[in-house]
Structure 1
Amino acid sequence: MPLASRVTRKPSGVDTEPQGPSNADRSWSSISSRRAATQMKPSMRFLYSILLPRYLSSEDAKEVRAFKFVGEDRSLLYNYVLSPLCEVIIQWVPKWVHPNVLTLCGLLCNVISHLIVFWYCPSLTEPCPAWVWALTGIMVIAYSFFDNLDGKQARRLGLSSPLGLLIDHGCDSINVVVSIFSTAALFQYGAGLRTLAMLFMTSTQFFFATWDEYYRGEFILPYINGPNEGIFVVATVYLLSSLMGDYTSFWHVKETLPFIGGSFQRCDIALVLMLISAIPITLNHVYGVYSHLTKFGFGSQQKRMNTRTRDLHHAFSTAAPYCVGVILACLWVTFSPEGVAAQHPRLTIWFIGILFSYAVAMIQVAHVCDGDLAPSRWPCIVPVMMIACNCVLGLLSPDKRPPIHEPFLLVFVSTFALLSWLSMVISVLRDISEALSVPMWTVPLKVQASCRSGKKVAIH
């Protein structure tokens, strides 16, 4: 989520001092989960520990409670338009609405439009009615407003916590994948490298921004950035496309390149612009981490965010699984013996998107816990390696047939990735909610009572 000013404005309303309700006001979900776990039979308790393992140790819980967010959003659009407008809108939001509910509402807006686009454009090549793109543009704008309102609601109610930061970033990572589907369907990219390139250019910026935040301990958005200006550019493209009589013909008109000759389709302009922005932004994050770790020395004792040994080798080794996964996925889609991406384009993208969301979540959890980001804790690379190995064996075989039927393997690894992601999300949210003693989805009764009385009650 965009941030307005250093320290005082954070994603999902993360304040500099994490706060939570008293023990009497703890969320019912966290209390009931502990009771259920202790009352289970030994066999069921063992199964529960396997499916929903503990991600946070007692030391991690202490670090979560000590977490302080440092960030700044320098966006001109945010500071001069979106933030002032949301300050007015937030006055109309009931005080019994939890900030995290607003975060989910924002994600739901894009999920609804995603499902509608999927209905009309299952293979990312069919044309959609004009109203679909008008609705998609409106939903993207609504998502942007919800993404700003949740933080303001959190500070308004005194419910700021690292839990909100994780939920906010998690929803944003899912929104990256959802948005790629809609954009690829608008430009009719279909299955193949253009859709995959759009996904990786967007997700890579997100990944390295999170990676940068982990090592430098601060989250800075530039004057023009994707979460603000980028979102409204995309929404404008959707809305303008809905006003065109035949948007498919418009985006597929071939233009001639001046001076050098050749031609390109108008829809490819989006890829070029994304590439032009993705490369310098990603390199800036890498250089920022390099200069930061070089300045403070390798493994030196720094502030809280660098209390453990984190040098350049550590930094690049933690980014390696994602980079390897990107390369393997591109090679797999390009050289798949059975053309599985063309057969199941949406499942292919969702499979890769879930792994991306998992990787980002692991960085965020390590960040708020001040924990070590070990590549060995990233099982997300295993499914990609399985598919890549199967693909290579198929290409090397005389009949060019892989040992395992690729569509079947894709369904299997996608199911594995989804279950792993769900297990991680539920476990992490449960652990952090219990560590902070804060509710995930409901406003504590003490806060509601203080709102009705008009008094501002400090929550400790």
Structure 2
Amino acid sequence: MAGYEYVSPEQLAGFDKYKYSAVDINPLSLYIMHPFWNTIVKVFSTWLVPNLITFSGFLLVVFNFLLMAYFDPDFYASAPGHKHVPDWVWIAAGILSFIVYTLHGVDGKQAHKTNSSTPLGKLFDHGLDSWSCVYFVVTVYSIFGRGSTGMVWVVLFSFILSHWEKYNVGILFLPWRYDIKRFLFNSLYRDLFTAMIIGCALCVTLPMSLLNFFGSYTNNTLKHNSVYEAMVPFFSPCLLFILSTAWILWLPSDILEIHLRVFYFMVGTAFANITCQLICPTLNWLLVPLFLVVLVVNSGIASFIANGLLYTLAAAFSVAHVHYGVRVLKQLRMEEKNIGL
């Protein structure tokens, strides 16, 4: 397993022909954030590696997640009668979120500035972005406390939808929701914030994705012609949603009360792996143990066993995803050397 090759020779053969293409028509990005990032990137020295900027931003997202997990482990800190998160923690979380967003905006600009933009860097960037989705949303949950918002699934759906576009059209259209939600992170209350996230996903991101898809279909520029091939990227995310929801609805344990953060972490890690494997869109093998565990926990086992299975899955998914990332990056790095990138 240590030397397992995830990228096939056929996929590696097209590595040197890869062209990254993205379109961002978000007014907030075009007229406010990009000019700001262009100013910031001028401060960075040319020796600063873009991937280091990307990884630093990811580590700050994880730190925010762990910080909130320490002060609000069960999402009750915002509820009356419970110990609230200290003010300095919120200030730190807000500052760190802004730094993360800035680093995310300037890493690509630094790559172009240093003439070091490669497919490997793009994969590294989007791979960490996919893992950051859940960390960010779960951190936001500490502001609102518990409730039925479904925000995690909306954000994950929006993320996979834009990459489904890329898979079929060949161009990554950046969703408006991504910038807007971060810009308004600290300025909206729960109901308005949730309505904004869901509204942008359903009224902006989804229609724009479908419009771009059908536009490519009309121009006969789709990468995949059959309905089956076009919909393959949705198979694994949908199965993940079904299995995770089934676990929550039928679980005879205290996951929702005590271990909810671990459950989110497990789902987010599986989602990140699924997203990364759009490089080879097939049913993700991580869903097999998840399916088996859902069957087991619904057979009436004791609560502590179900909780143990959750922690085991979370750890196994993490190890598997890190292994996948390291092996793929090594393969692509070797290919870069072979073709002289």
TM-score, normalised via structure 2 length = 0.89
Which of 313, 328, 331 is equivalent to 1:413?
313
State the AA in 2 paired with 1:132. V
Query: Does residue 1:215 correspond to 2:168, yes or no?
Result: yes
Instruction: Write the distance in 2 (CA, Å) between the matches of 1:404 and 1:135.
Output: 35
Instruction: Write the distance in 2 (CA, Å) between the matches of 1:315 and 1:402.
Output: 42
Matched length = 334
1:356-371 superposed matches below 5 A: 356-363=271-278, 365-366=279-280
State the AA in 2 paired with 1:88. T
Report Cα offsets for 1:95-151 as digits up to 9, x if no partner: 111001111122222222222212211112122111111111111111111112111
Query: Does residue 1:287 correspond to 2:204, yes or no?
Result: no
Partner of 1:267: 190
Query: Does residue 1:434 correspond to 2:334, yes or no?
Result: yes
What is the DSSP-based 3-state SS (H/G/I as helix, E as strand, rest coil) of the residue aligned with 1:393?
coil
Report Cα offsets for 1:161-217 as digits up to 9, x if no partner: 11111111112112211112211111112xx754xx221111111011111111110
Which of 307, 315, 332 is equivalent to 2:230?
315
8 Å CA contact 1:54, 1:427 repeated in 2: yes
Report Cα offsets for 1:384-418 as digits up to 9, x if no partner: 31232123322xxxxxx469921111122222211
Partner of 1:389: 295
Query: Does residue 1:106 correspond to 2:54, yes or no?
Result: no
State the AA in 1 paired with 2:50. P
Instruction: Write the distance in 1 (CA, Å) between the matches of 2:162 and 2:13.
Output: 25
Report Cα offsets for 1:251-282 as digits up to 9, x if no partner: xxxxxxxxxxxxxxx63443333222222346
Which of 11, 16, 40 is equivalent to 1:60?
11
State the AA in 2 paired with 1:390. V
Query: Does residue 1:188 correspond to 2:145, yes or no?
Result: yes
Query: Closer, same or farther in 2 for the Cα pair 1:288/1:433, shift >3 Å?
Result: farther
8 Å CA contact 2:253, 2:303 repeated in 1: no
1:285 is displaced (CA, Å) by: 6.2
Determine what percentage of the aligned residue pairs are the same residue: 21
What is the DSSP-based 3-state SS (H/G/I as helix, E as strand, rest coil) of the residue aligned with 2:297?
helix
8 Å CA contact 1:204, 1:282 repeated in 2: no
8 Å CA contact 2:169, 2:213 repeated in 1: no
Query: Closer, same or farther in 2 for the Cα pair 1:226/1:385, shift >3 Å?
Result: same
Instruction: Write the distance in 2 (CA, Å) between the matches of 1:409 and 1:207.
Output: 27
Q: Which runs of 5+ in 1 are unaligned?
A: 1-49, 238-265, 367-372, 395-400, 439-458
1:194-213 superposed matches below 5 A: 194=149, 197-213=150-166
What is the DSSP-based 3-state SS (H/G/I as helix, E as strand, rest coil) of the residue aligned with 2:5?
coil
Report Cα offsets for 1:43-78 as digits up to 9, x if no partner: xxxxxxx13411223332221111012221112222
Which of 324, 328, 332 is equivalent to 1:424?
324
State the AA in 1 paired with 2:15. V
1:80 is displaced (CA, Å) by: 1.6
State the AA in 2 paired with 1:64. F
8 Å CA contact 1:67, 1:162 repeated in 2: yes
Query: Closer, same or farther in 2 for the Cα pair 1:295/1:381, shift >3 Å?
Result: farther
State the AA in 2 paired with 1:85. F
Instruction: Write the distance in 2 (CA, Å) between the matches of 1:421 and 1:221.
Output: 25
Partner of 1:444: none
State the AA in 2 paired with 1:111. V
What is the DSSP-based 3-state SS (H/G/I as helix, E as strand, rest coil) of the residue aligned with 2:173?
strand
8 Å CA contact 1:293, 1:312 repeated in 2: no
Partner of 2:28: 77
Instruction: Write the distance in 1 (CA, Å) between the matches of 2:20 and 2:63.
Output: 32
Greater relative contact order, per chain length (Cα 8 Å cut-off, separation 6+): 1
8 Å CA contact 1:333, 1:339 repeated in 2: no
Instruction: Write the distance in 2 (CA, Å) between the matches of 1:319 and 1:181.
Output: 23
Instruction: Write the distance in 2 (CA, Å) between the matches of 1:312 and 1:296.
Output: 17
Instruction: Write the distance in 2 (CA, Å) between the matches of 1:417 and 1:215.
Output: 28
Query: Closer, same or farther in 2 for the Cα pair 1:268/1:76, shift >3 Å?
Result: closer
What is the DSSP-based 3-state SS (H/G/I as helix, E as strand, rest coil) of the residue aligned with 2:45?
coil
Partner of 1:338: 253
Query: Closer, same or farther in 2 for the Cα pair 1:278/1:391, shift >3 Å?
Result: farther
TM-score, normalised via structure 1 length = 0.67
8 Å CA contact 2:41, 2:109 repeated in 1: yes
What is the DSSP-based 3-state SS (H/G/I as helix, E as strand, rest coil) of the residue aligned with 1:181?
helix
1:289 is displaced (CA, Å) by: 7.2
State the AA in 1 paired with 2:328. V
Partner of 2:81: none
Which of 123, 133, 150 is equivalent to 1:176?
133
State the AA in 1 paired with 2:298. V
1:324 is displaced (CA, Å) by: 2.2
Query: Closer, same or farther in 2 for the Cα pair 1:231/1:158, shift >3 Å?
Result: same
Instruction: Write the distance in 1 (CA, Å) between the matches of 2:180 and 2:9.
Output: 41
1:121-132 superposed matches below 5 A: 121-126=72-77, 127-132=84-89
Q: Which runs of 5+ in 2 are unaligned?
A: 78-83
Alpha-carbon RMSD across the aligned residues, in angstroms, is 2.5
Partner of 1:246: none
8 Å CA contact 1:390, 1:404 repeated in 2: no
What is the DSSP-based 3-state SS (H/G/I as helix, E as strand, rest coil) of the residue aligned with 2:168?
helix
State the AA in 2 paired with 1:345. L
1:292 is displaced (CA, Å) by: 5.8
Query: Does residue 1:134 correspond to 2:85, yes or no?
Result: no
What is the DSSP-based 3-state SS (H/G/I as helix, E as strand, rest coil) of the residue aligned with 2:42?
helix
